């Protein structure tokens, strides 16, 4: 819990600094790459969290893996090493992306369907989200055949379940109660 709060604080400070230096977009690109790379590489994640691996080795590995990163991003790595918080890098990167999107009026909407969304359906869902929340949303489609049909939409704290599996479950509960 304390790590999550610290990650949010680092991400907020990083976003503020990046906005001041007009490099928020470049830092966002770096943060997306950091989060994706660390999530996909168990070895990298373990190395960042390992107390056995020295700070100098961690820093050189990160700078080699993420060549061409923005100067602010490199400074973040140095700061995390100094404060012994390098294990939080993935969480900070994820929080930064969320905060950056919020600052631009964007949000991520997760749509779970039994089959992949078509372009036409994606446009309709995006329009509906904009009407409901007043913000644009980046759609993330998750395919889960167990919902049988329909969809489950999650935007922030809002969830709308229009799946056939959910409707069948409601119907089953009604029959068992009577």
pLDDT in tens, 58-81: 999 999 999 888 999 999 999 999
Checking if the pLDDT of 2 tops 90, the result is no
Query: Can you give the residue ranges of every domain in the chain?
Result: 2-102, 105-177
Q: Which residues contact 52 (CB under 8 A, 6 or more apart)?
A: none
pTM higher than 0.85 for the full model? no
CA dihedral 94, 96, 98, 99 (to 10 degrees): 160
What are the tens digits of pLDDT across the range 85-133?
A: 999 999 999 999 989 988 887 788 888 888 888 888 888 888 888 887 7
Give per-residue pLDDT as tens, 14-40. Answer: 999 999 999 999 999 999 999 999 999
Pick the CATH number of 2-102 from 1.10.150.20, 1.20.1370.10, 1.10.520.20, 3.40.190.10: 1.10.520.20
Model confidence over 144-175: pLDDT tens digits?
Answer: 888 888 888 888 778 888 888 888 888 888 88
On whether the CB atoms of residues 163 and 148 are closer than 8 A, the answer is: yes
The CA-CA-CA angle for residues 131, 137, 138, to 5°, reads 150
pLDDT value of position 129: 82
């Amino acid at each position: 819990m304390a790590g999550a709060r610290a990650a949010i604080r680092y991400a907020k400070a990083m976003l503020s600094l990046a906005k001041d230096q007009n490099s928020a977009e470049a830092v966002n690109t770096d943060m997306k790459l950091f989060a994706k790379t660390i999530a996909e590489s168990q070895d990298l994640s373990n190395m960042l969290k390992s107390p056995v691996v020295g700070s100098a080795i961690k820093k050189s590995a990160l700078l080699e893996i993420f060549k061409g990163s923005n100067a602010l991003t490199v400074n973040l790595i140095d700061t995390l090493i100094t404060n012994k918080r390098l294990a939080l890098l993935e969480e900070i990167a994820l929080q930064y992306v969320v905060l950056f999107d919020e600052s631009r009026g964007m949000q991520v909407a997760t749509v779970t369907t039994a089959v992949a969304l078509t372009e036409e359906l994606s446009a309709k869902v995006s329009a509906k989200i904009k009407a409901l929340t007043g913000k644009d949303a980046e759609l993330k489609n998750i395919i889960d055949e167990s919902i049988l049909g329909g969809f489950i939409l999650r935007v922030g704290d809002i969830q709308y379940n229009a799946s056939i599996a959910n409707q069948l479950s409601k119907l089953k509960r009604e029959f068992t109660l009577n």
